Amino acid sequence: MSLKFRFLSPLFILLAGLAVSPSGLHAQGRSEKSENHRVEQDEGPPERVSSNVPEIERIHARAPLWARGKTGVAPQLATSPSGYKPVQVRHAYGFDKITGNGAGQTIAIVDAYGSPSLASDLSTFCTAFGLPQATLAVYYPQGKPAANSGWALETSLDVQWAHAIAPGARIVVVVAKSTSISNLLGAVDYAVKTLGAKQVSMSWGAAEFSTEASYDSHFNKTGVTFFASSGDSGAGVIWPAASPYVVAVGGTTLQLDSTGTAITETGWSGSGGGVSAYYKKPTWQNNWTSAANRSVPDVSYDADPNTGFPVYITNYNGSTGWITVGGTSAGAPQWAAAQALVNATRSTSLSNANNALYTTATIAYADFFDIISGSNGGFFCNPGYDLVTGLGSPNAPALLPALSATK
């Protein structure tokens, strides 16, 4: 098989604790250090939950989301965006060479709490970057929940950057009333059964639990592909990314020059990855890993907040403006958008794209950018599949046509 690496210069190898800020990147590749913080979220109900309540009600998810700025310091939102522009990210992964825009497809974003200013903030994002205005609909099948700034930022990231990659696709946001797995899965079901979404983004997860496989019926759907973030705490496996019916998206540090051309792409130190404690290895991973159980992630995408994505948000902890964010939660909606570009060219949409992704990689590994350097604290990147970045990041001009042609 042929390989396509993100070639490394020793000057840009990511070291533990050191990342590169996109605001400090120039054509020559200059960099500066920056501190980041995990975005605070409501991870569960304040009341005590009885042990008699079903497990699915007791487990709560969080979104793997980071923002640029020091921990414990309220971020100062900016009046103008910083971080990578959509045109740069589209060029880095080759989406600017794809002729379609996802028209006719529906991308579902499933998050908790949502954001009351989602539509107006998306409009501001589109205007700032010269994108067409989006077709957006927001649903609250469980009732409107209370506001939550952390999840509002997550939802805004998901919507704005899914639109940046597939600007012709319709975006539906299905809001769960809390972070309980039960409510989030209810929102997933609504997105698929009621709204007909064929690609679903789930930028959230929780630690694996012994009965997780019993909930796979929510993802084993004909003609639908689910994408989930692999986590942002380094080595380790979370669910639903662990499910073999879900494409798990890991994280990279993507360094670009001013034109959006990749200088290097390395494994992000926060990228979740490892071997599931409960799922056996699916057959499509047989040629890629010697582990007996399911390996995570499957693919990867830029996730480092220092090489992150600008998001516009209203009333984020009392402030309005631009903030630069990262985390593997940034990759799930953009992979879902890539899937919309694929399905828009097919007569029938793909079911669980994992089989197609691994088959395509076996035939032509150059369809991916293989990430060969970096670590998540427990595992290292290496040529081929690894437990930091999976198969790698998308080489869209090669990968998307191959997926379009998959039987």
Band of pLDDT at residue 39, cut at 50, 70 and 90 = low
State the catalytic residue, choosing from 42, 154, 208, 367: 154
The answer to whether the CB of 81 falls within 8 A of the CB of 128 is: yes
Question: Catalytic residue at 47?
Answer: no
State the catalytic residue, choosing from 201, 276, 329, 393: 329
CATH T-level assignment (fold) for domain 19-38+55-404:
Rossmann fold (3.40.50)
The answer to whether the CB of 309 falls within 8 A of the CB of 331 is: no
Residue 274 has pLDDT above 90, yes or no: yes
Question: Catalytic residue at 158?
Answer: yes
State the catalytic residue, choosing from 42, 111, 121, 158: 158
pLDDT single digits (tens) 363-393: 999 999 999 999 999 999 999 999 999 999 9
Band of pLDDT at residue 58, cut at 50, 70 and 90 = low
26-30, 115-119, 140-144, 206-210: segment of lowest average pLDDT: 26-30
Cα–Cα nearest to 368, from 352, 346, 389, 351: 389
User: Residue 407 and residue 390: Cα distance in Å, rounded?
Assistant: 23
Q: Side-chain half-sphere of 207: how many Cα atoms within 13 Å? A: 7
Question: Catalytic residue at 154?
Answer: yes
CA–CA–CA angle 368, 370, 376 (5° rounding): 125
Q: Side-chain half-sphere of 79: how many Cα atoms within 13 Å? A: 0
Q: Where are the domains of the chain?
A: 19-38+55-404
